[in-house]
A and B are shown apart, each in its own frame.
Chain A
Amino acid sequence: AQKITQTQPGMFVQEKEAVTLDCTYDTSDPSYGLFWYKQPSSGEMIFLIYQGSYDQQNATEGRYSLNFQKARKSANLVISASQLGDSAMYFCAMRERRKTSYDKVIFGPGTSLSVIP
């Protein structure tokens, strides 16, 4: 069964510091994708970054990078130079690439990040 674990229910980081949000996953499928979403207090889900299971390099998008360790089945999100606007819930999600047309996406429980001025 698929499962996404985010062991940090809440985290604090000082403004301008870097922070790592943990995500571990469990799948027997060799082909899958990992996503991170941000949900600010306003409620919308914002896509941040993607990592494919066959990607050789860690994904980066601006201040966001993904520390992908395939053997350990972890896909941690690193936010550099934290800003007050980074305060939000962060969700890790996984999608298996199945032979059928449907791509099931599993979400983790989320981590609440608070950036302290």
Chain B
Amino acid sequence: NAGVTQTPKFRVLKTGQSMTLLCAQDMNHEYMYWYRQDPGMGLRLIHYSVGEGTTAKGEVPDGYNVSRLKKQNFLLGLESAAPSQTSVYFCATQPRRDRDNQPQHFGDGTRLSIL
């Protein structure tokens, strides 16, 4: 019963390098989200997806790209990493809205440092 799995858990990059964060879910949820968490700012939405093959921008999308080729996977890419992207990244999923009280289900986070 994995739920939402994020890989990697930790990563250190140099400025200008690229990388991809993977979020995998086994709950058959329609919606998937990528957030970043910075001290004193809570979680801010980067990109989201409401279904396979569809993605959209959130609150802070600049410098990131996403893809959802399969329903169970949501990838977050950093094309050219910058120190401002040092953060903890969370993936979250949510079933299609059948009941209002559906919470989001979170992965354990990826701690990313850009030097």
Interface 1/0s, chain B 26-55, versus A by CB < 8 A? 000001010100001111110010100000
Cβ of A93: which chain B residues have Cβ within 8 Å of it? 43
Q: Which residue of A lies closest to B35 (CB)?
A: A107
In angstroms, Cα B106 to Cα A15, docked, is 28
Known: A4-B42, A109-B41. A44 touches B100 (CB 8 A): no
Tally the A-B contacts, defined by beta carbons under 8 Å.
Answer: 56
In angstroms, Cα B41 to Cα A9, docked, is 11
Chain B: residues with Cβ within 8 Å of the partner, total of 27
In angstroms, Cα B91 to Cα A59, docked, is 27
Cβ of B108: which chain A residues have Cβ within 8 Å of it? 43-44
By the criterion CB–CB under 8 Å, are A103 and B97 in contact?
yes
Chain A: residues with Cβ within 8 Å of the partner, total of 24
Cβ of B41: which chain A residues have Cβ within 8 Å of it? 109
CB distance from A38 to the nearest CB of B (A): 11
By the criterion CB–CB under 8 Å, are A105 and B56 in contact?
no
CB distance from A95 to the nearest CB of B (A): 8
Interface 1/0s, chain A 42-69, versus B by CB < 8 A? 0111010010100000000000000000
By the criterion CB–CB under 8 Å, are A35 and B50 in contact?
no
Cβ of A9: which chain B residues have Cβ within 8 Å of it? 40
A interface vs B, CB < 8 Å? 4, 9, 31, 33, 35, 37, 43-45, 47, 50, 52, 91, 93, 97, 101-105, 107-110
